[in-house]
Amino acid sequence: MKYVDEFRDADIVSKLEKKININNVGKKINLMEVCGGHTHAIYKYGLQEILPDEINLLSGPGCPVCVTPQEYIDKAIVLAQKEDIIITSFGDMLKVPGSRSSLKKEKSRGHSIKICYSPDEAIRTAVENRKKEIVFLGIGFETTAPSIAQTIKKAREEKINNFSVLPASKTMPEAMEALLQSEEVAIDGFICPGHVSTITGSTIYNFIPEEYNIPCVISGFEPVDILESINKLIKQINKEESKVENQYTRSVKIKGNKKAKAIMYTVFTKSESKWRGLGTIPESGLQISEEFKKYNAENRFDISVPKPDKSDECICGAIMRGVQSPQDCSLFKTSCTPKSPVGPCMVSSEGPCAAFYKYQLS
């Protein structure tokens, strides 16, 4: 096993393609994925193209950069403009436009902003720059939250006092529920996020079939994984069943990664959180707990930003909710491109607009 080629095998894909048979021919079936990795893979391998016409793949709020609200970027910019602060961040965040600027523009104006590949790199930056304050932009879902938590814990243990996090970690199940409650889109099944589930375990989605009668399948990220997950969802839909199934068994276990969860809930507590496009969702955020509050950049610095002006034209919010697609947007490929993105969905490679722009045949 190479764990790559086998999951991109043309013969297996073709067998799966034939297996996906819909009972109720002609009826549209909306399957939503809520993970940027899935969005990217679906576009990259042109999966929509090989599925039956009835199946409509929707991208939900699964790209961490895309769901981060504009105010957060504005706050990061205020921090970046302070002389004694070095902002450390995952690379994608730099290009996301705030209301007046972006971190990339601030960087070119000479403010200290450093791209990190992991939160641990941010801690190292703090050790190497003791006279500066290092702020890490802590975005992402359950996948990245444990490593951010670990970094905060390490800062306390090693007395690294010039390090803090601007927290914006989010949890996925509450956003999925908000989408279902809004009833804006009829979702017939969820392709559940494989990386999030690797941390959380597979039971966090149980309420979806139980309370909303919607099938869920946790999926891996290769074409064979996604097609197998779609096949499982269609089988449930055909049988009018709804349950949580785990296709990504090589990574996801029922109870998840206990160690990662433990550290996550040592440092963070559940809180409400604002999502771009979805608004404020109760219990959908991870706030730094009282015990670790000195590592919260919000407590450490005065960061007040005016309420951002709403851009009328960018429809990232509606795309995040699965209500509209990138090609519905008047800015797409005209004034909004990966080179100069208007909205966050065009920034991250996991954003639906960027993936559509990059891979879709015209």
Q: Tell me, by CB under 8 A, how many residues bind other proteins.
A: 25
**Left (φ > 0), alpha (ψ -120 to 50) or beta: where does 222 sit?**
beta
CB of 27 to other proteins, least distance (A): 24
Does position 2 interact with other proteins (CB under 8 A)? The reply is yes
CB of 320 to other proteins, least distance (A): 22
According to CB under 8 A, which one of 27, 44, 250, 255 is a site residue for other proteins? 44
- Positions in 82-121 near other proteins (CB under 8 A): 117
Does position 182 interact with other proteins (CB under 8 A)? The reply is no
Does position 1 interact with other proteins (CB under 8 A)? The reply is no
According to CB under 8 A, which one of 1, 4, 159, 310 is a site residue for other proteins? 4
Does position 49 interact with other proteins (CB under 8 A)? The reply is yes
According to CB under 8 A, which one of 22, 30, 50, 235 is a site residue for other proteins? 50
| Cα gap 220→270, rounded to integer Å | 27
Of 33 and 222, the one with the shorter C-beta distance to other proteins is 222
- Positions in 317-346 near other proteins (CB under 8 A): 338-339
Residues near 173 by Cβ (< 8 Å), separated by ≥ 6?
204, 205, 207, 208
Of 268 and 356, the one with the shorter C-beta distance to other proteins is 356
According to CB under 8 A, which one of 20, 47, 63, 175 is a site residue for other proteins? 47
Does position 360 interact with other proteins (CB under 8 A)? The reply is yes
Of 289 and 325, the one with the shorter C-beta distance to other proteins is 325
Q: 81, 61, 79, 80: which is closest to 69 by C-alpha? A: 61
CB of 151 to other proteins, least distance (A): 17
Does position 239 interact with other proteins (CB under 8 A)? The reply is no
CB of 231 to other proteins, least distance (A): 15
Of 37 and 146, the one with the shorter C-beta distance to other proteins is 37
Q: For other proteins, which stretch binds (CB under 8 A), given 5-13, 55-63, 238-246, 318-326? A: 5-13
Name the residue type at position 325. S
CB of 333 to other proteins, least distance (A): 12
Q: For other proteins, which stretch binds (CB under 8 A), given 8-16, 62-70, 150-158, 242-250? A: 8-16
Residues that bind other proteins (CB under 8 A): 2, 4-5, 8-10, 13-14, 43-47, 49-50, 117, 223, 338-339, 349, 358-362
